[in-house]
Chain A
Amino acid sequence: MHLERYAYGIDPQSLEYEFYSEGPRGKIKKIIRFQRISDDPPGYNLAFGDIDPETGIIDDFQITNNHDREKILNTVVNTVGDFLEQYPEAMIIAQGSTPSRTRLYQMKITALYDLLCEKYYLYGLTGEHWELFARNKPYDAIGIERKEYNFYYIHLQNNPHGI
């Protein structure tokens, strides 16, 4: 994926990605954490926060403040791809801190839908169940996982010795 994005650093031990947003408000440090929330299947929550430059406190990211919304979202998408390369069996879920934030994630996924669908399964939580992600439908949370792993998994099921 070739999207304009920020360079990021990775701490593989803590499963954290960090980058700086740059704009009229200056440099703002952003942190993305992939939090392990289940073992079978391995589920991870995508948590995203800003470090307030004045207080040092982490809070929900202020997406409109630095006039770089698209670049930030591109960076987040890129870290998801990177994470799923390292953890191909992972299921990632993301839920905005408010419905409008979740909607923002959803708009980004919709914009990249064709590209993402080549490699990933996308899901949306609607009411009380998950379904395959559909464009232009509001969701309460979003899920994403690699498709290839499925083929690999089926292959291993049919060929337990990897033959």
Chain B
Amino acid sequence: MASESSQKAALKRDLLKGHKDDPFFVKKEQAARELIQKFGLPKRPAH
């Protein structure tokens, strides 16, 4: 089992510029937008 520091070092090396355009995440974002279009976002409780 790798130590936490070696895990962090590996992550730092591997960290990509992001997966914004990856089809998986594009699909997820679209589904979330559809959800809030239908139902909105939760409202804070009134005080």
Residues of A within 8 A of B (CB): 6-9, 11, 13-14, 16, 18-20, 22, 29, 31, 33, 35, 37-38, 41, 43, 45, 47, 49, 57-60, 91, 93, 95, 121, 123, 125, 128-130, 132, 141, 143, 145, 150, 154
- CB–CB A6/B29 < 8 A: no
Residues on the B chain within 8 Å of A6, using CB: 7
**11 A-B interface contacts by CB (under 8 A):** A11-B17, A14-B18, A14-B20, A33-B20, A45-B32, A93-B35, A123-B42, A125-B35, A130-B40, A130-B43, A143-B42
Residues of B within 8 A of A (CB): 1-2, 4, 7-8, 10-12, 14-20, 22, 24-25, 28-29, 31-33, 35-36, 38-45, 47
With A33-B25, A49-B25 already in contact, the answer to whether A130 and B18 are too (CB < 8 A) is no
